Amino acid sequence: MTHAFFDAFIAFGFMRRSLVACLALSLSITPLGVFLLLRRMSLAGDALSHAVLPGVAVGYLLCGMSLLAMGAGGFIVGLLVALLSGWVSTTTSLPEDASFAGFYLSSLALGVTLVSLRGSGVDLLHLLFGSLLAVDNSSLMFIGVIASATLLILGWGYRALVTEAFDAPFLQVRSRHLPRLIHALFLGLLVMNLVAGFQILGTLMTVGLMMLPAIAARCWANRLPWMLALAVVIGMVSALLGLIWSWYQSLPAGPAIVLTATFFFFVSVLFGTEKGIFPLVKRVKPTR
């Protein structure tokens, strides 16, 4: 029974590469989803995932299906959009989510237009939904480097990121510009991981793997370390089960993974002990 469950990964190298890529991405992108959730910026991840599309499209038009060119273009444009959105929200009375929405819609339209100039419908689908089962060694190396760098930076700046998310005025006491620098660092990590994710899940599906495990983890945990660990576990399990489901049911791999994460999301919303509608274990309020 166990052999049949993992038969696809045992027999085919492309399935093993796809699994390793998803596990590595889950390890780095789901903690970022937790921080986005705590910052009340859940939809910002969706906006930035579309914002990288023009840069990816420019890299594609200039160098073809070059991972380095598309990745560099996506990172530059995504970070530019994030910084411009923050600048607009600080210099006008518009909230940050409104400026993100404006840039996100413009970026999506521009990216699709650029790809359509020289590409085909297949190329556009590849950029929007990824090609998980076509992951090669260079893509694995690219994702592994980004995941490793993200974990190192998160470990190094964990306390600062937590403080900026919960108590930014405290950091302003130490330095006026420190909260902005930490916020820019966080947005840079976010864009970097979205660029890594577009190669395997596309710009539309990557945000699903980022946010759904994070929201599910919040329904079960109230402490940040547990929330981060649980989000990573849910992301990895979703990747494994989604790949198996896609193999045996002949489904697109990326959407199957996101749908599996959606299942965990609904179960958590219904039965989560912290935020669930029908919590499996009711919390007992301490008596004074």
Q: Which of 2-6, 89-93, 101-105, 130-134 has the lowest mean pLDDT?
A: 2-6
Q: Is the pLDDT of residue 217 over 90?
A: yes
- Is 193 inside any structural domain? yes
| Percent above pLDDT 70 for the chain | 89
- Is 283 inside any structural domain? no
Q: Which CATH number characterizes residue 128's domain? A: 1.10.3470.10
Q: Is the pLDDT of residue 202 over 60?
A: yes
Q: Is the pLDDT of residue 2 over 70?
A: no
* Average pLDDT of the residues of the chain: 84
Q: How many domains are contained in the chain?
A: 1
- Is 26 inside any structural domain? yes
User: Per residue, what are the HEC states of the chain?
Assistant: CHHHHCHHHHHCHHHHHHHHHHHHHHHHHHHHHHHHHHCCCHHHHHHHHHHCHHHHHHHHHHHCCCHHHHHHHHHHHHHHHHHHHHHHHHHCCCCHHHHHHHHHHHHHHHHHHHHHHHCCHHHHHHHHHCCHHHCCHHHHHHHHHHHHHHHHHHHHCHHHHHHHHHCHHHHHHHCCCHHHHHHHHHHHHHHHHHHHHHHHHHHHHHHHHHHHHHHHHHHHCCCHHHHHHHHHHHHHHHHHHHHHHHHHHCCCHHHHHHHHHHHHHHHHHHHCCCCCCCCCCCCCCCCC
- What is the mean predicted confidence (pLDDT) over 126-150? 84
Q: Is the pLDDT of residue 174 over 90?
A: no
pLDDT at 178: 79
pLDDT at 122: 54
Most confident of 133-142, 198-207, 236-245: 236-245
Q: What is the pLDDT of residues 244-278, one digit of tens each?
A: 999 988 888 888 999 999 999 999 999 998 888 88
Tell me the pLDDT band of 139, cut-offs 50, 70 and 90.
Answer: confident
- Is 259 inside any structural domain? yes
- Is 280 inside any structural domain? no
Q: Which domain holds residue 229?
A: 8-271
pLDDT at 119: 59
- Is 191 inside any structural domain? yes
- What is the mean predicted confidence (pLDDT) over 154-177? 80
- Is 51 inside any structural domain? yes
Q: What is the pLDDT of residues 73-121, one digit of tens each?
A: 888 888 888 788 777 777 777 776 677 778 777 887 888 788 777 655 5
Q: Which of 125-129, 133-137, 238-242 has the lowest mean pLDDT?
A: 125-129
- Is 197 inside any structural domain? yes
